[in-house]
């Protein structure tokens, strides 16, 4: 239903803009200009690889993904449901345009414009607590309340899968997701059970059954473990995962869905990386006491094609890869799975990165831009999320780097994964695992990727993390800009050393659990400086990201 509605909306916009009237010759509206930053892109994949039973299961999973949209909307802001219904009722060209941009952003705040509101009657500032906490809560109130709770209740209050609400007397209480979103999780669980009954794949059947149970029990551990063991042509990721939307503490997980098909040939090519993770961990440029002498089980790597999405995966910048689960209990036991969305990455490289590099990079280095290093670094980024400090001790108390960094956690972790991904690939080249002939191409393509990511805005964790890296690398002489042409050049020897140095800086801050050092690093480097701003101003005719359009699965 949602796919049909969206296609109809696009068609109405096209018909309206195609009318031969004086209005059609006028300049595009401000909102239309903002919409143009997302390039409509058809995302196709070959469904013939599926058995008839898995194809029927896939339809159920796509329906379940649509329910993640509704849960995510409720999580993002208390006024989302009523506002979207109002927008949907307006079928004028202007109303259709507003709804289109609303859906692109997952709400009434423009993600590429520092979350500025684009509709009247909404808060001028996007609520940093989303709808996980009471709208009037303060950090101080929450922190003091948590400190008074027994330890088991503290874990729930700061846990992934619980909202915080007020009682009638305005005291705080913990509400499990299974209760908060029961009206949507129950039908989602039914669809997962239906899919489990249809598929003949044992591992998929087990995961879907356990995930349906988790929607009722609020305990996601067993289903996360089953997801790690999934060995199926259909690769679904569905449930509460990422904590980006909780900008107060990065505690609460948002619901999302990636419904994908596994690419066996591409997956086989990349499995060799997993066998070197412990070796890379043992050689991280940090004090040996901060390294993990025994990583979890071999990290699965999956290359997939996306066929549907839902919840947090849909609005804004499109995910190119992900590294899950985030539950430290699971990662300590099983590691984490890296999932590479190859058809999404190809679309981004073709539509965004290639034309961007032609405008900003030294023409002598432009021929080094290639999809293979783009794809491989995204893999390394996801692998490195699992390496480095995670479980730590601060002031004698066990915690995690994520919790110690609070709202800075996401941006710092993205920067860590990016820059340590370069370190890891360089290490594999230096030890003969990878071809050293890839070296220059890797750094030049990464440099182009910096500009691609910073365009997401510094309110986005990836964009802020990339701004940090650009400023730090520039300060170390790894990136030069020609004062006449404005072109940027990667100084490869200095790039290597600076990447290694910054890897050590970020991981040491995480290992120490030093929120103060993280804040100082972000405050100094996590900003868009004039040179970057001028470069970004040259890219206004290039889309910032894609707007994927998936064919309806019959």
Q: What are phi and psi for residue 145, nearest 5 degrees?
A: -65, -45
Predicted confidence (pLDDT) at residue 29 exceeds the cutoff of 80: yes
> What pLDDT digit, counting tens, does each position of 356-376 carry?
999 999 999 999 999 999 999
Instruction: For the chain, give the percent of residues with pLDDT over 90.
Output: 81
Q: Among 522, 530, 422, 539, which residue's Cα sits nearest to residue 472? A: 522
Which element (helix H / strand E) includes 60?
helix 52-76
Of these ranges, 35-49, 160-174, 331-345, 446-460, the one predicted with the greatest mean pLDDT is 160-174
Which element (helix H / strand E) includes 504?
helix 492-512
What's the pLDDT at 297? 57
- Within 10 angstroms of residue 540's Cβ, the number of other Cβ atoms is 10
What is residue 436's DSSP assignment? G
What's the pLDDT at 459? 78
What's the pLDDT at 208? 98
- Within 10 angstroms of residue 275's Cβ, the number of other Cβ atoms is 11
Predicted confidence (pLDDT) at residue 354 exceeds the cutoff of 90: yes
Q: List Cβ<8 Å contacts ≥24 apart for 96-103.
A: 96/9, 96/12, 96/13, 96/16, 97/13, 97/29, 97/31, 97/32, 97/35, 98/31, 99/9, 100/9, 100/10, 100/13, 100/35, 101/31, 101/34, 101/35, 103/6, 103/314, 103/315
Strands (E), 301-386: 301-311, 321-324, 337-341
Beta pairing class for 391-394 and 479-481: unpaired
Predicted confidence (pLDDT) at residue 12 exceeds the cutoff of 50: no
Predicted confidence (pLDDT) at residue 8 exceeds the cutoff of 80: no
Strands (E), 470-527: 479-481, 488-490
Mean pLDDT throughout 263-279?
Answer: 87
> What gap in Å lies between CA 157 and CA 142, rounded to an integer?
9
Predicted confidence (pLDDT) at residue 17 exceeds the cutoff of 80: no
Predicted confidence (pLDDT) at residue 10 exceeds the cutoff of 50: no
> What pLDDT digit, counting tens, does each position of 102-133 carry?
999 999 999 999 899 999 999 999 999 999 99
Q: What is the DSSP string of 396-423?
A: TEEEEHHHHHGGGHHHHHHHHHHHHHHH
């Amino acid at each position: 239903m949602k796919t049909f509605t969206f296609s109809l909306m696009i068609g109405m916009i096209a018909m309206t803009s195609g009318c031969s009237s004086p209005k059609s010759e006028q300049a595009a509206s401000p909102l239309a200009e903002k919409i143009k930053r997302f390039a409509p892109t058809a995302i196709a994949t070959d469904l013939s690889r599926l058995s008839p039973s898995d194809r029927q299961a896939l339809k159920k999973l796509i329906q379940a993904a649509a329910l993640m949209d509704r849960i995510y909307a409720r999580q993002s802001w208390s006024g989302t449901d009523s506002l979207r219904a109002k927008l949907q009722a307006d079928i004028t060209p202007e109303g259709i345009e507003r709804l289109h941009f609303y859906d692109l952003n997952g709400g009434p705040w423009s993600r590429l414009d520092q979350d500025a509101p684009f509709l009247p009657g909404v808060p001028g500032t996007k609520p940093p607590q989303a709808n996980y906490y009471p709208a009037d809560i303060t950090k101080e109130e929450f922190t003091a309340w948590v400190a008074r709770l027994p330890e088991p209740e503290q874990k729930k209050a700061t846990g992934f899968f619980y909202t915080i609400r007020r009682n009638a007397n305005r005291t705080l209480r913990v509400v499990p997701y299974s209760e908060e979103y029961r009206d949507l999780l129950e039908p989602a669980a039914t669809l997962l059970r239906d899919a489990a009954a249809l598929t003949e794949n044992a591992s998929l059947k087990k995961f879907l059954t356990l995930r349906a149970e988790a929607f009722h029990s609020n305990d996601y551990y067993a289903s996360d473990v089953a997801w790690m063991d999934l060995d199926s042509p259909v690769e679904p990721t569905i449930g509460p995962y990422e904590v980006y939307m909780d900008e107060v503490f990065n505690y609460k997980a948002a619901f999302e869905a990636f419904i994908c098909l596994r690419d066996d040939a591409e997956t086989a090519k990349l499995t060799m990386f997993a066998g070197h993770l412990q070796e890379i961990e043992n050689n991280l440029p940090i004090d040996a006491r901060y390294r993990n002498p025994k990583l979890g089980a071999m990290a699965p790597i999956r290359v997939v094609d996306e066929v549907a999405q839902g919840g947090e995966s849909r609005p804004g910048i499109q995910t190119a890869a992900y590294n899950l689960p985030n539950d430290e209990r699971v990662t300590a036991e099983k590691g984490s799975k890296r999932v590479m969305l190859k058809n999404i990455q190809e679309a981004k490289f073709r539509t965004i990165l290639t034309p961007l590099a032609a405008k900003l990079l030294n023409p002598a280095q432009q021929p080094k831009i290639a999809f293979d290093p783009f794809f491989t670094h995204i893999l390394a980024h996801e692998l490195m999320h699992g390496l480095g400090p995670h479980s730590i001790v601060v002031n004698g108390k066990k915690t995690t780097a994520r919790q110690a960094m609070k709202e800075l956690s996401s941006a710092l972790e993205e920067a860590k994964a990016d820059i340590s991904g370069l370190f890891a690939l360089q290490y594999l080249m230096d030890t003969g695992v990878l071809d050293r002939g890839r070296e220059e191409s890797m750094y030049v393509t990464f440099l182009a990727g910096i500009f691609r990511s910073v365009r997401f805005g510094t309110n986005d964790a990836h964009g802020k993390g990339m701004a940090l890296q650009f400023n730090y690398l520039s300060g170390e002489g790894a990136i030069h800009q020609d004062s006449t042409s404005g072109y940027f050049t990667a100084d490869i020897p200095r790039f290597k050393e600076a990447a290694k140095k910054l890897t050590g800086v970020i991981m040491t801050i995480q290992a120490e659990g030093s929120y103060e050092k993280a804040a100082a690093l972000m405050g100094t480097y996590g900003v868009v400086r004039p040179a970057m701003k001028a470069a970004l101003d040259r890219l206004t005719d290039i889309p910032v990201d894609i707007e994927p359009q998936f064919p309806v699965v019959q």
